Amino acid sequence: MHANGVQALSARFGRAIPSAEGSRLMINTSKVTRRRILGGAVAAAAFPEVIPSGVLAAPGRPGANDRVVTACIGLGGMGRTHIDANTAALCDVDARRLGEAASLVPGSTCLTTDFRRVLDRKEIDAVFIAAPDHWHALMTVMACEAGKDVYCEKPACRTVREGRTMIDTARRTGRVVQVGSQGRSHPAAEAATRAIRSGLFGEIRRVSMWHPNNWTTSDPGRSEEPPSELDWNMWLGPARWVDYSPARAHFNHRWFTDFGGGFIRDRGAHALSLMNWALENDAYDGEIEVEATGASQPHGCFDVPVSMEVRWRFRARDLTVTWSQPGNPRMAGEWGATYHGDRDQLTVLGGDAACSTEPKALRLGDLHAGSATESDTVDAGERHRRNFLECVRSREVPVMALPAAVQASNLSNIALIAYRLGRPLVYHAGRERFVGDPCADRFLDEPYRSPWVL
Amino acid sequence: MRHSPPQSAAPLIASLESISGRPEHPLEARPLNRALAIRDAWSLGAEGVRALLEIVADTDGVADRAAREALERIVTHAARPGAEHEAGAISTALWEIARSTMRIPARRYAVHLLGVVGGESHCRQLGALLEVEELREDVRLALIRMPDSSADEVLREARSRAEGSFRTSLDQALLQRSRGRAVR
């Protein structure tokens, strides 16, 4: 029933995604087991091999061997990849999409255009959230409050306050939350992470990321009556009101600051997540200098910049990270990152469910020893899902835990603020505010349109 | 050859033409050039606020977006550290539009921008616009964003007079502000 994650993502972006086939120099480490890549507590926490015997079923907490009853909220490209035999409810504000997705579910299921009806259902243990980005925080928080575990597609949040509220709510309610940065479930990313952490390339003081430009359009986005099957008010949710235009809805939400934020918040969430992982930067709490420039859209209604140049400097650890659109692609990869060490450098292509890296990253691991386990043969998107469902049963912390996902998203968020303000900023990650720029602080939060409140 | 600009853009065009040494964008009706000219008008600062707001919600969606971008740039530039006088001048220009009889989309955007740059005195001024039904949701959102404690007072005062769902909205605004402060 599951769509292949790679194919799904290719279809989503209408182009090939980076893979081992993209370059003869790159190796997709599909035979590498997670146990051999990451040892110690991190791996144990992420992938418990033995489910504690004390884990018993309770309301809102399935037992170790229980079926996890799920619901899918948002049924576009990614949302449909989460539908399976355990899906008990489907939700989308577009009744046409809802109907199409319903045909993928075996047996009867609850169909609704209002996600609150999903959260009301006691039999649902966990929800997959694949609504547009401006809904991620609110839906996650409301789902946690309703006693549901959450798998939320990236980016985790659009604002610093959204991220903080998500983390606090998940902790307070004791819910398991996984964010869909599937790179952390990809063997190639694990191999790169292990090689970088081992010091194979020396100390990494610079990471350069590249990605194609954001999309453009000639569509001026003239206001139209929304189609009868679409609840546009609900699609907008907490975002500022704007009239419906097909150029704004669904996939195109990415190209608007109020809903998405361009590729830096989209695939940037993957690339920055891997960078934080490889460099053990998930908990960085010092000051970050951030500078962002770009070129405005020449025509059409999209409002994210076409191109972007971003530089973050992590003052407390002498690390500079850059994001360039379009930048200089390496090794025939559409997007990726190069880690510059003082002895050598390493390139990692992609960073979502499709990821590959250079053979030299694999020196530390014996790729061909032993036999691949079943989990090694499935794609990273599916491994990521399974990790979440295992954690729902075990109550362990998933591989893409919410604080790490928020940390990655906030790098995008502060870059977009620096771009909007047109000046370099200093952000204090520990204090979650800017240094000496009260106007920038006003963008740490986005007011929610009534009746929504976070 | 120069074409006549649409009526709504005329004040801006006049403003642009009044500035010497800006020959780089022929002021013609071709959308791309027109958008570039409008976007460049951010450098007019407070002087360009009214003209740019005239273009907001123009039937030419590209011009509308260019005007919004220029206005946001004016506002965020003026709100930089150490430029309080400039921020005050911009806020005053925005307030003049917000309380005017200009078209509602322009007034709504002026209110939104006041949420980015406005100070304590503007919280109180905006409070008066909570009575204007077409603007009150934008005013509420702007007040949520403004850091001054007077925004809380304005929202509480309005709540005491409000009824029905808008009263609930004002409660939510106060709640969102209190939660936001916990982060800040």
CATH assignment of the domain containing A99: 3.40.50.720
3-class DSSP assignment, residue A5: helix
Mean pLDDT of chain A, nearest integer: 85
Q: Could you give the angle at the alpha carbon of A350 between the alpha carbons of A346 and A353, nearest 5°?
A: 125
B148 vs A contacts (CB less than 8 Å): none
Residue A453 lies in a domain: no
Model confidence over A171-224: pLDDT tens digits?
999 999 999 999 999 999 999 999 999 999 999 999 999 999 999 999 988 889
The answer to whether A159 touches A443, Cβ cutoff 8 Å, is: yes
**The pLDDT value given to residue A376:** 54
> Under an 8 A CB cutoff, do B165 and A160 touch?
no
> Under an 8 A CB cutoff, do B116 and A442 touch?
yes
Are residue A123 and residue A144 in the same domain, yes or no? Answer: yes
B175 vs A contacts (CB less than 8 Å): 453
> Under an 8 A CB cutoff, do A437 and B80 touch?
yes
Is A453 at the interface with chain B, CB within 8 A?
yes
A221 vs B contacts (CB less than 8 Å): 61
Model confidence over B83-134: pLDDT tens digits?
999 999 999 999 999 999 999 999 999 999 999 999 999 999 999 999 999 9
Q: Could you give the angle at the alpha carbon of A86 between the alpha carbons of A81 and A90, nearest 5°?
A: 60
Residue A414 lies in a domain: yes
Q: Which of A298, A422, A452 is closest, CB to CB, to B77?
A: A422
The minimum CA-CA distance between A354 and chain B, rounded to whole Å, is 35
Q: What is the ipTM of this complex?
A: 0.86
Q: What are the residues facing A312 on neighbouring strands?
A: A290, A321
Model confidence over B36-81: pLDDT tens digits?
888 888 888 998 999 999 888 777 778 888 999 999 999 999 999 9
Residue B61 identity: G
The 8-class DSSP code of residue A24 comes to T
Is A218 at the interface with chain B, CB within 8 A?
no
Alpha-carbon distance A284 to A411, whole Å? 11
The answer to whether A334 touches A165, Cβ cutoff 8 Å, is: no
A432 vs B contacts (CB less than 8 Å): 183-184
Number of domains in chain A: 2
Is A167 at the interface with chain B, CB within 8 A?
no
> Under an 8 A CB cutoff, do B140 and A450 touch?
yes
Are residue A202 and residue A283 in the same domain, yes or no? Answer: yes
Ramachandran sector of residue A146 (left: φ over 0; alpha: ψ -120 to 50; beta: rest): alpha
CATH number, domain containing residue A210: 3.30.360.10
A240 vs B contacts (CB less than 8 Å): 112, 141
Q: What DSSP line would sit under B111-137, residue for residue?
A: HHHHHHH--HHHHHHHHHHTT-TTTHH
Q: What is the mean pLDDT of residues A397-425?
A: 98
> Under an 8 A CB cutoff, do B32 and A297 touch?
no
Alpha-carbon distance A129 to A134, whole Å? 12
CA closest to B181 among chain A residues = A161
B40 vs A contacts (CB less than 8 Å): none
Are residue A391 and residue A267 in the same domain, yes or no? Answer: no
Specify burial of residue A117 (Cβ count, 10 A radius: 0-12, 13-18, 19+): middle
Whether the per-residue pLDDT at B21 is higher than 80: the answer is no
> Under an 8 A CB cutoff, do A160 and B183 touch?
yes
Are residue A154 and residue A243 in the same domain, yes or no? Answer: no
The minimum CA-CA distance between B75 and chain A, rounded to whole Å, is 9
Whether the per-residue pLDDT at B20 is higher than 90: the answer is no
Residue A223 lies in a domain: no
Are residue A211 and residue A112 in the same domain, yes or no? Answer: no
Residue A102 identity: A
Are residue A306 and residue A295 in the same domain, yes or no? Answer: yes
> Under an 8 A CB cutoff, do B62 and A299 touch?
yes
> Where does the pLDDT of residue A25 fall: very low under 50, low under 70, confident under 90, or very high at 90 and above?
very low
How many interface pairs between A and B have CB atoms less than 8 angstroms apart? 101
**The pLDDT value given to residue A330:** 86
Model confidence over A89-118: pLDDT tens digits?
999 999 999 999 998 887 778 999 999 999
B72 vs A contacts (CB less than 8 Å): 420
The answer to whether A445 touches A159, Cβ cutoff 8 Å, is: yes
Are residue A240 and residue A146 in the same domain, yes or no? Answer: no
Whether the per-residue pLDDT at B182 is higher than 70: the answer is no
Alpha-carbon distance A200 to A181, whole Å? 25
Alpha-carbon distance A24 to A19, whole Å? 10
Q: What is the mean pLDDT of residues A303-312?
A: 97
**The pLDDT value given to residue B61:** 77
Residue A317 lies in a domain: yes
The range of the structural domain enclosing residue A362 comes to 185-216+236-368+404-441
Specify burial of residue A276 (Cβ count, 10 A radius: 0-12, 13-18, 19+): buried
> Under an 8 A CB cutoff, do B183 and A445 touch?
yes
Phi, psi of A229 (to 5 degrees): -85, -5
Specify burial of residue A68 (Cβ count, 10 A radius: 0-12, 13-18, 19+): middle
Alpha-carbon distance A109 to B75, whole Å? 50
Q: How many residues does chain A have?
A: 454
The answer to whether A420 touches A304, Cβ cutoff 8 Å, is: no
Are residue A140 and residue A200 in the same domain, yes or no? Answer: no
Are residue A247 and residue A116 in the same domain, yes or no? Answer: no
> Under an 8 A CB cutoff, do B141 and A222 touch?
no
What percentage of chain B reaches a pLDDT higher than 90? 63
B126 vs A contacts (CB less than 8 Å): none
Q: Could you give the angle at the alpha carbon of A75 between the alpha carbons of A73 and A80, nearest 5°?
A: 105
> Under an 8 A CB cutoff, do B65 and A422 touch?
no
Residue A377 lies in a domain: no
Is A238 at the interface with chain B, CB within 8 A?
no
Q: Which of A438, A450, A453 is closest, CB to CB, to B147?
A: A438
Are residue A262 and residue A136 in the same domain, yes or no? Answer: no
> Under an 8 A CB cutoff, do A298 and B35 touch?
yes
Residue A162 lies in a domain: yes
Phi, psi of A290 (to 5 degrees): -135, 135
> Under an 8 A CB cutoff, do A450 and B142 touch?
no
Residues of B with CB under 8 A from a CB of A: 31-32, 35, 39, 60-62, 65, 68-69, 72-73, 76-77, 79-81, 112, 115-117, 137, 140-142, 144-147, 165, 168-169, 172-173, 175-176, 179-180, 183-184
Are residue A160 and residue A265 in the same domain, yes or no? Answer: no
> Where does the pLDDT of residue A5 fall: very low under 50, low under 70, confident under 90, or very high at 90 and above?
very low
> Under an 8 A CB cutoff, do A447 and B140 touch?
yes
Residue A252 lies in a domain: yes
Residue A289 lies in a domain: yes
Whether the per-residue pLDDT at A336 is higher than 90: the answer is yes
The minimum CA-CA distance between B116 and chain A, rounded to whole Å, is 7
> Under an 8 A CB cutoff, do B141 and A447 touch?
yes
Whether the per-residue pLDDT at A281 is higher than 70: the answer is yes
B65 vs A contacts (CB less than 8 Å): 297, 301, 303
What percentage of chain A reaches a pLDDT higher than 90? 76
A433 vs B contacts (CB less than 8 Å): 183-184
Are residue A118 and residue A197 in the same domain, yes or no? Answer: no
Q: What DSSP line would sit under A71-129, residue for residue?
A: EEE--STTGGGG--TTEEEEE-SBHHHHHHHHTTSSS--EEES-HHHHHH-TT--EEEE
